[in-house]
Structure 1
Amino acid sequence: MNEQNSTTLAQKGAWISIAAYMVLSAVKLIAGYYGQSQGLWADGLNNTTDIIASVAVLIGLKISNKPPDHNHRYGHTRAQTISSLVAAFIMMSVGLQVIYQSFMSYFNNETEKPELLTAVVALIAAAFMFMIYRYNLTLSRKTKNASLLAVAQDNRSDALVSIGAFVGIVGTYIGIDWLDIAAAFSVGFIICKTAWEIFSEASHTLTDGFDEQLLQDIKKTIDNTDGVQMTTDVKARMHGNDILLEATILVDKDLNVVESHDITDHVEERLSTIHQIQHAILHIEPFDMGKKD
């Protein structure tokens, strides 16, 4: 799948999430307010901020689709990672606010029995959002898009949040009056946890962190290429969805320039086929047994 089609599909997933959040946030806020459910109200507030986060992802996708220019020689694909970071900050701020409001309601003894309809709304919303999560998760794997994966993770947390709201509401009907407030607190905790996971992954990528196991697999691919005697240095970093790779490979010292170049072409073909790496800088050095250790 080319980058243009990948971005288009990712944008489609983000738009679907925005549409779902707009509907769900309106229904939950109205039902939570008039049905006196703090858990469902917090869930609706969470969906409202999800709209903002999804818009941030869309903006990141649009920017990342811009071609390279004079001061962005590698393109703009890291805008996707930055948009994930923005989404994480928004989610964290809302999660902390929901937790604070839950504590205040508990200590002020603001417990009321929600309407039963709010439980039905929460359950339907959970099922609906889980379907959106599965769709965006499949799409993120297909497009290998980090921003869309962040959206999918948020979709999953929203489905769990709605289940928590449902449990909290039902709990009040079996005599546990504070369970709806506990559900609201759980909403805040899940939001913060998801935000932290997205933040950790995005910041790891922005600081040029890279999966160590994947790096070892890439090294094995290079080492197993015909003509490569050994690989002394392999470095990689993520640039949006793309892997930027640098490696030093040792070849027979008696080969001429053309023969050495043919080996690098073969390495690049294998990297593209096996690991979908399109950007590799390969440095050739003559093989010396003294360097093997």
Structure 2
Amino acid sequence: MEQQRYEQLKMGERGAIISIVAYICLSALKLMIGYMSNSEALKADGMNNMTDIIASIAVLIGLKLSQKPADKDHPYGHWKAENVATLVASFIMMAVGIQVLFEAITSFFHLEKEAPDLVAAWTGIFCAVIMYFVYRYNKKLANKINSQSVMAAAKDNLSDAWVSIGAAVGIIGSQFNLPWLDPLAAVIVGLLICKTAWDIFREASHHLTDGFDEKLLEDFKETILHINGVKGIEELKARNYGNNTVVDVVILVNSNLNLEDAHDISTTVEKVLYKEHEVYAVHVHVEPNSVIRTEKNSLRKENSLTE
């Protein structure tokens, strides 16, 4: 399982590298045409792609660091390096988004500004088409290797395609004696950069603080309860190490079972979660059903006497 996960991380690097190359080329094109055509929207879109370069590099660095094996200082491995790198990238993206907003709002009040050249709109549409195909590639790769970070990069690719379309619409609209539509589109692009940065920050911080999807926990619970021999679940917790899910569960079994039979049930729980939910590791603790109930009843009696 661990070797397979390392191989998937190596494959994930391919998607990050493709995103980096695409963003470098497209941001250079957008900024050049944006300044030549005097389009605030296209320049803002180019700045957006520059932040995407940083985010993609962060994903690439995180994927590489995550492949380092466990050592003395990191007995659980380096899986969370990807989340840390993504968190840093979100701060940089937010700073750039605020800068784009400031420049766009400032230019918005330059009423004497002429409408940008229409070539800026065609550039935006061309770049949107390119980013859509990059999105399709990364989405397919993310589903293949079950990578949250590559899927996040794919969603970012798609949002960039829509941003470019929005910039093109603003530029085209400014041709109809409405030059303020171009800086307005730039303001919208700046807001989208800030929103993307916030979404990335929220998701990365959620993983780093051991937050976990409650619905997925319910799916785990339902799967475990359907396993033959499991009488109940005393406790179920899960956390993420990078893209790897680790599950801790205390199951209840018949108190008359011998140690070997109880161990076989716990092994079955591990195998089923590996197969059906592709979790990275499962820690199963077995408790006899009657003992748990007796202890709970005793605790209730003690609490009632105390009250």
Is this a same-fold pair by TM over 0.5? yes
Match of 1:3 among 2, 5, 8: 5
Q: Is the 8 A contact 1:39 1:165 kept in 2?
A: yes
> Could you tell me which amino acid in structure 2 is paired with residue 87 of structure 1?
A
Q: Is the 8 A contact 1:231 1:250 kept in 2?
A: yes
Q: 1:204 to 1:110 in 2, by over 3 A?
A: farther
Mapping for residues 238-253 of structure 1, pairs under 5 Å: 238-253=240-255
Which has the larger displacement, 8-17 or 42-51? Answer: 42-51
Unmatched 5+ stretches in structure 2: 301-307
Distance 2:152 2:279 in 1: 22
Match of 1:214 among 213, 216, 219: 216
Mapping for residues 241-280 of structure 1, pairs under 5 Å: 241-280=243-282
Q: Is the 8 A contact 2:230 2:265 kept in 1?
A: yes
Partner of 1:146: 148
Partner of 1:171: 173
Residue 234 in structure 1 maps to residue 236 in structure 2: yes
Query: What displacement does 1:110 show?
Result: 5.8
> Could you tell me which amino acid in structure 1 is paired with residue 264 of structure 2?
D
Partner of 1:66: 68
Q: Is the 8 A contact 1:140 1:149 kept in 2?
A: yes
Q: For the pair shown, which has the larger CA radius of gyration, 1 or 2?
A: 2
> Could you tell me which amino acid in structure 1 is paired with residue 240 of structure 2?
M
Distance 2:225 2:75 in 1: 29
Partner of 2:158: 156
Mapping for residues 1-293 of structure 1, pairs under 5 Å: 2-109=4-111, 111-288=113-290, 289-290=293-294
Q: Is the 8 A contact 1:168 1:179 kept in 2?
A: yes
Deviations 1:142-201 (A, max 9, x none): 222222223222212211111111011101111211000011111101111111111111
Distance 2:55 2:181 in 1: 29
> Could you tell me which amino acid in structure 1 is paired with residue 36 of structure 2?
Y
> Could you tell me which amino acid in structure 1 is paired with residue 83 of structure 2?
T
Q: Is the 8 A contact 1:157 1:191 kept in 2?
A: no
Distance 1:95 1:278 in 2: 36
* CA RMSD after TM alignment: 1.6
Distance 1:89 1:101 in 2: 19
Which has the larger displacement, 178-187 or 155-164? Answer: 155-164
Query: What displacement does 1:204 show?
Result: 0.9
The alignment covers a number of residue pairs equal to: 293
> Could you tell me which amino acid in structure 2 is paired with residue 282 of structure 1?
V
Partner of 2:303: none
